[in-house]
Amino acid sequence: MPGKSPQWDHPFFKVLAKNDTGQARGHQSGFVVPIPIQQYLPVIQGQPCKERPSIAIPLTAHLYAAGVRLGEVRTQYQVQSWGALKREHRITSALKSLLGPAIKGDILLLQRKADTCTAYRLELLHQDTPQHEAALRLAGTRRWGVLDTRKVPESFSIELEIALAHEAEREAEDFVLFDDAPGINVSVVKKVARSLAFRKGVLTQYGNRCAVCSIGLQTPAGLYEVEAAHVVPRSEWGADDVRNGLALCRKHHWAFDAGLFGVGDDLRVFVPPSVMVMPANKSLAVLHGKTVLQAVDIALRVDPAAFKWHLDTLVYKK
């Protein structure tokens, strides 16, 4: 029975239903992920809608059947809707070697690879095997959940809630430009949660629009093109604080990080002359002198120290 190791987080499980296995007619080559264990899988952003009924994120799956390695595949974790009410999360595609021989009542064990968010170990435990019996002793009558309830895997949604609460708390504190805890020992799940909370905070404050060009492309499924840029970058230990954040479209995020423009203390875009004269940068040159959008909440506007650091440190001098 696999447990937590430096490589794998604690296991969670599902007792497979007929529909999850090769027994089902019109089998979709995947299995349904019930709500209580969705928290141990990455958060899917956006909502499925009529125009785009499913949203998927790629996962790497290391497949095992009772301890024997079957191989490594690229699979998908997706949320799908059929009409307004029925929504379903599934892990689907490329799982035939694992689920094809499975029958109702077999147990599927899932474990996240410790150093990533998108790789999982999926192990099928056939009924009437010692591995299945051992898992059943821990599972009892439950059909899904954490296998050993004393050993809970890291939860993406709980960490996100904590990060959002922390984000709300720090708004009341004085702004600190650099994170004193750069998070060397912080788990990858916590890092993802913090960056989602930061993104959510920044995008909300700027109405999901680029602070420089005001463009805010979005999909009918509710996904936004605009990104949450760090004014002082994470690589320089810039804080995951909305006051160190700016909503920027991809093009302007890239240009901002590359130092092609900065923001002065008058909140106007500064494009250095050496950048401005290049024919390739015409679209940027016209933004010189334009006032950037600010956060809706006055207390959450970019701290002037952050813009100054960026201008002094990253933007071309001439």
Q: Interface with Zn ion by CB under 5 A: which residues? A: 210, 212-213, 249, 252
Residue 253 Cβ, how far from Zn ion at the closest point, in Å? Answer: 8
Which of 101, 109, 95 shows the shortest CA–CA distance to 60?
95
Which of 140, 116, 126, 142 shows the shortest CA–CA distance to 37?
142
Q: Which is nearer to Zn ion, 246 or 311 (CB)?
A: 246
Beta partners for 218? 224
Residue 11 Cβ, how far from Zn ion at the closest point, in Å? Answer: 44
Residue 293 Cβ, how far from Zn ion at the closest point, in Å? Answer: 10
Count the Cβ atoms, other than its own, within 10 Å of residue 145. 19
Q: Which is nearer to Zn ion, 213 or 276 (CB)?
A: 213
Q: Which is nearer to Zn ion, 14 or 209 (CB)?
A: 209
Q: Angle, nearest 10°, between helix axes 156-170 and 188-205?
A: 50
Residue 179 Cβ, how far from Zn ion at the closest point, in Å? Answer: 26
Taking the mean position of all CA atoms in its chain, how far away is CA 306? Answer: 25
Which of 115, 116, 114 shows the shortest CA–CA distance to 11?
114
Q: Which is nearer to Zn ion, 120 or 261 (CB)?
A: 261
Q: Which is nearer to Zn ion, 149 or 214 (CB)?
A: 214
Residue 64 Cβ, how far from Zn ion at the closest point, in Å? Answer: 46
The DSSP element (H or E) to which 145 belongs, if any, is strand 144-146
Taking the mean position of all CA atoms in its chain, how far away is CA 238? Answer: 20
